Amino acid sequence: MTHTNFKFPVIAALCALSACSQLPSPAAPQTTAPAVAAPAPAASLPADAGPPLRIDSAHSLIAVTVRRGGLLARLGHDHVVASHAITGTVTPSRNVADFQFRLDEMKIDEADLRQIAGLEKQPSADAIEGTRHNMLTKVLDAERYPLVNVHAERSAAGQPLRVAITLHGVTRTLDIPVQLREENGVINVKGTVVLKQTDFGLTPFSVMGGAMAVLDQMELRFDLSAR
């Protein structure tokens, strides 16, 4: 098993939430720039670059742990929200990757993922369905923003991935350290990252004036393979 130069993406995201844009940069001063020649066409890939690899959904996972807060937090549950249906491509010759997943296809509180996250007491089927409804309708507005899109690249081996995550119509860019390996033509990347719901214009779910609430911070774990 050897390390590869490929800059593979993550997160993620993430995302997802439980129970539950890029903010515009300040406008630059307007100046009158001299006319410039049109940019040259992008260079084509080398003939031996080969086709892009495709993300293997059967061996890929994004899991987000969201935790409860508020004065009555003991009455609620922490949750794990996960996507197993991740699609996209990896282009090793360019050290870039693009993938996406649907929010309405995410799974809530799968028993094995709760165990990995260290969460006890499996919620009831009714509680899980309530969490799913609140997440999709009251937090994520999944009907209007059904997809999470991720673009990732890396400038040099050993450097963190530069990842642009678009969720809820908002794009955030961050650097994420990863474990990246290649074996028998399969690229695998693993890592974790902490995100905040409010960074994507989301309002964490709460009831009773915040006495029961979902914390803003989300813990995202990813394990993605492409072949």
- The 10s digit of each residue's pLDDT in 57-110 is 999 999 999 999 999 888 889 999 999 999 999 999 899 999 999 999 999 999
What does pTM read for this prediction? Answer: 0.76
> Could you report the per-residue pLDDT of 155-197, keeping only the tens digit for each?
888 899 999 999 999 999 999 999 999 999 999 999 999 999 9
Please check whether residue 28 lies inside any domain of the structure. Answer: no
DSSP state of 104: G
Please check whether residue 42 lies inside any domain of the structure. Answer: no
DSSP state of 75: G
Task: Determine the pLDDT at residue 70.
Answer: 92
Please check whether residue 32 lies inside any domain of the structure. Answer: no
Q: What is the CATH number of the domain that holds 73?
A: 2.40.128.110
Please check whether residue 31 lies inside any domain of the structure. Answer: no
Helix, strand, or coil (residue 135):
helix
Task: Determine the pLDDT at residue 39.
Answer: 40
Averaged over 142-167, what is the pLDDT? 95
Please check whether residue 158 lies inside any domain of the structure. Answer: yes
Please check whether residue 184 lies inside any domain of the structure. Answer: yes
Please check whether residue 179 lies inside any domain of the structure. Answer: yes
Q: pLDDT at residue 23 above 80?
A: no
Please check whether residue 222 lies inside any domain of the structure. Answer: yes
Task: Determine the pLDDT at residue 75.
Answer: 85
pLDDT band per the 50, 70, 90 thresholds, residue 17: very low
| Length, in residues, of the chain | 227
Euclidean distance between CA atoms 66 and 198, whole angstroms: 13
- Number of Cβ within 10 Å of residue 35's Cβ equals 4
Euclidean distance between CA atoms 13 and 36, whole angstroms: 39
Q: Which of 64, 62, 60, 61 is nearest to 20 (CA)?
A: 64
Please report, to the nearest 10 degrees, the dihedral formed by the alpha carbons of residues 131, 136, 138, 140 taken in order.
130
Please, what is the Cα angle at 95 between 92 and 96, to 5 degrees? 100
Task: Determine the pLDDT at residue 31.
Answer: 38
User: Which domain, by its residues, includes 82?
Assistant: 53-226
Q: pLDDT at residue 47 above 80?
A: no
User: Residue 191 in contact with residue 179, Cβ under 8 Å?
Assistant: yes
Q: pLDDT at residue 41 above 50?
A: no
Structural domain total, the chain: 1
